[in-house]
Homo-oligomer: A and B are copies of this chain.
Amino acid sequence: MNCVEVKHVTKNFGNTCALDDICLSFEENKIYGLLGRNGAGKSTLLNVITNRIYADQGEVYVNGEPVKDNDKALGQLYLMSEKTYYPEKMKIKDIFKWTKTFYPDFDEEYAANLAERFGLKLTKNVKSLSTGYTSIFKLIIALSVNTPYIFLDEPVLGLDANHRDLFYRILLEKYSENPCTIVISTHLIEEISNLIENIIIIKKSKIIRNESCESLLAGGYTVSGSTALVDSYISGKNVIGIDSLGGLKSAYILGKKEEELPDGLEVSKLDLQKLFVQLTN
């Protein structure tokens, strides 16, 4: 089966363990969320997978071949990383051309079209871009390289609400027309909860969850209704968060829901961000 496999990867920086015996795989044509707190090891993992840094132990395989210094295997992967490595004075249109020499399936026309939709001027150089437009520039390249596996490290960093929404829509457009494996690492968790099929959570350099979004969220539920009804219902339950809106309240609860709920209470699925905070605090 085609997939990216991470086998028993360990990485230390001095006395700090960044990755501790990580095992996981990314299957073909699925969208993954890679979640974790600041410093949990997400970026280190993505850098090891794409051979930008070496693991102390363990191996990464792409469709069965080890990635370590293997150009053929590495050509299947693209990482939009948190650092920007492009020459500062190079114009964006020239970087697009340059990218095509490394990634032959890079679609220049599609990239130019995305730049127009995001309002990014191709004649600007990298140095003159704001934080938000630096992310936009990098995510346009990632969406246009057409490798089978795309890893996005904080793709919406510094993007305004309208641009974030546009990115999510474009990602789904692209995925439905041209399926590939997409791994998204982000801190705006609730915004991607409808995009991702599978969730991997890293906590202190170890994987603590690796399952479908559906099965993770099946560990609890949300009840909403009038404040009085919700307050009375949640008494004695494992409540991990509450939101209020006017006289209405929503409570996020871990555990199995009863068959029958009191009249006037509405049930919906758990909030992914609330669950994440609970699991990683």
Contact = CB atoms under 8 A, between A and B. Distances in A.
Contacts of A247: 266
Contact of A162 (B37, B43, B136, B266): B37
Give how many copies assemble into the complex.
2
Size band of the interface chain A makes with B: 35 or more
Contacts of A267: 246
A225 to B, nearest CB: 8
B38 A163 contact: yes
Contact of A224 (B128, B136, B248, B268): B248
Interface in A66-93: 82
Interface in A243-274: 245-248, 250, 266-268, 273
A279 to B, nearest CB: 11
A280 B130 CA distance: 18
Contacts of A158: 38, 82, 154, 157, 187
A277 interface: yes
Contact of A161 (B130, B162, B187, B224): B187
A207 to B, nearest CB: 17
A280 B133 CA distance: 17
Contacts of A58: none
Nearest to A135: B38
Interface in A82-115: 82
Interface in A105-154: 119, 128, 130-133, 136, 154
Contacts of A250: 245
Interface in A22-69: 36-39, 43
A276 interface: yes
Interface of A: 13, 36-39, 43, 82, 119, 128, 130-133, 136, 154, 157-164, 187-189, 222, 224-225, 245-248, 250, 266-268, 273, 276-277, 280-281
7 contacts: A38-B130, A38-B159, A82-B131, A160-B280, A162-B280, A188-B188, A246-B266
